[in-house]
């Protein structure tokens, strides 16, 4: 060990010294540091012995700094402050290296991300995941977000963005409602609408002709969140324009089925994984790779398991 390190006075008593000097009280310093008065007194005495100079003048109910104490105090405060800042930075870096924050729309979060998240947690039990669901795009870096799933067209992607899966859309409904409509062809279904914003393929107007519904007096049920519209369809309350990649689980397990045999609409939009500049931790990389793998598992075309109700 270097001799200059060996010659340094003990560093732990500096905390007791600074606390006592700032408070001008052994009692208050002890309370601040959650120690006993005798422990603070021992720290100060150990520091005075190491320095060979008294640091305080003890009075009846107070203490005052000696010239040596006045000289030591600003340096000790600066040393401890810098040490505290470095320690906090190191702790934050260690914590962030083992955590990842992702944002996605409320619908994508509820219908696609959350049902799969348990798999990642099982395979990466030490990684902390934070999900920020928001329909409006968030500026990633200022918000401390590492990854984002965005619904956008290919020309708008940025460098390093990764395609998760493409979009296809078709009318879907609960099987019980499909059977009811098939038994009575004159009955008009309730159209469940997603009203948050205008998106290609998610407006019923463009579907009415191909579905043979033009000119009918149709009931409509509107929602401003897509996952709510889907839940209404699962409950048998109407037909929704299904974003098939997001609904693969519900279509596979029979909660939903295709309505009629009209071809699916292939949207110019797709689901892309964006990564914030500077988000390069091992946890972020692992989560990004896992998401990309989940995206590749999604069908690029309609699978045989998706049955038409017609």
Using CA atoms, how far apart are residues 300 and 168, in angstroms rounded to an integer?
Answer: 8
Res 42 pLDDT > 60: yes
Each residue's pLDDT tens digit, 86-104: 776 666 655 556 889 999 9
Give, in order, the Cα–Cα distances in Å from 69 to each of 49, 57, 115, 138, 149.
13, 10, 62, 51, 58
Max Cα distance, the chain (Å): 101
Which range among 69-83, 186-200, 218-232, 282-296 shows the weakest confidence by mean pLDDT?
186-200
pLDDT given at position 158:
67
Domains and CATH numbers, the chain: 3-95 (1.10.10.10), 100-157+271-294 (3.40.190.10), 167-268 (3.40.190.10)
Structure tokens belonging to residue 219: 């009931």
Helix (H, G, I), strand (E, B) or coil at 234: helix
Each residue's pLDDT tens digit, 53-78: 999 998 877 899 999 989 999 999 99
Each residue's pLDDT tens digit, 237-253: 999 999 999 999 999 99
């Amino acid at each position: 060990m270097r001799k200059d390190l060996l010659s340094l006075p003990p560093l732990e008593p500096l905390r007791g010294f600074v606390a006592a000097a700032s408070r001008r009280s052994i009692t208050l310093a002890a309370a601040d540091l959650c120690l006993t008065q005798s422990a603070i007194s021992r720290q100060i005495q150990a520091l005075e012995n190491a320095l060979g100079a008294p640091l305080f003048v003890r009075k009846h109910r107070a203490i005052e700094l000696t010239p040596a104490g006045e000289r030591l105090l600003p340096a000790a405060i600066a040393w401890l402050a810098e040490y505290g800042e470095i320690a906090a930075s190191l702790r934050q870096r260690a914590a962030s290296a083992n955590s990842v924050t992702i944002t996605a729309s409320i619908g994508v979060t509820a219908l696609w991300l959350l049902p799969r998240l348990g798999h990642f947690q099982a395979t990466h039990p030490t990684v902390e995941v934070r999900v920020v669901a928001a329909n409006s795009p968030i500026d990633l870096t200022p918000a401390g977000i590492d990854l984002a799933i965005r619904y956008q067209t290919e020309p708008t992607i940025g460098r390093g963005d990764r395609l998760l899966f493409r979009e296809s859309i078709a009318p879907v409904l609960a099987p019980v409602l499909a059977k009811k409509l098939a038994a009575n062809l004159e009955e008009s279904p309730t159209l469940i609408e997603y009203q948050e914003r205008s998106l290609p393929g998610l407006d019923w107007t463009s579907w009415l002709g191909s579905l043979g519904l033009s000119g009918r007096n149709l009931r409509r049920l509107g929602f401003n969140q897509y996952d709510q519209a889907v839940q209404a369809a699962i409950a048998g309350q109407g037909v929704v324009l299904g974003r098939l990649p997001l609904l693969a689980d519900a279509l596979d397990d029979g909660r939903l089925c295709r309505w009629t045999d009209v071809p699916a609409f292939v949207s110019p939009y797709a689901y892309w994984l964006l990564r914030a500049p500077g988000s390069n931790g091992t946890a972020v990389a692992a989560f990004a790779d896992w998401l990309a793998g989940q995206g590749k598992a999604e069908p690029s075309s309609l699978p045989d398991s998706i049955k038409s109700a017609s």
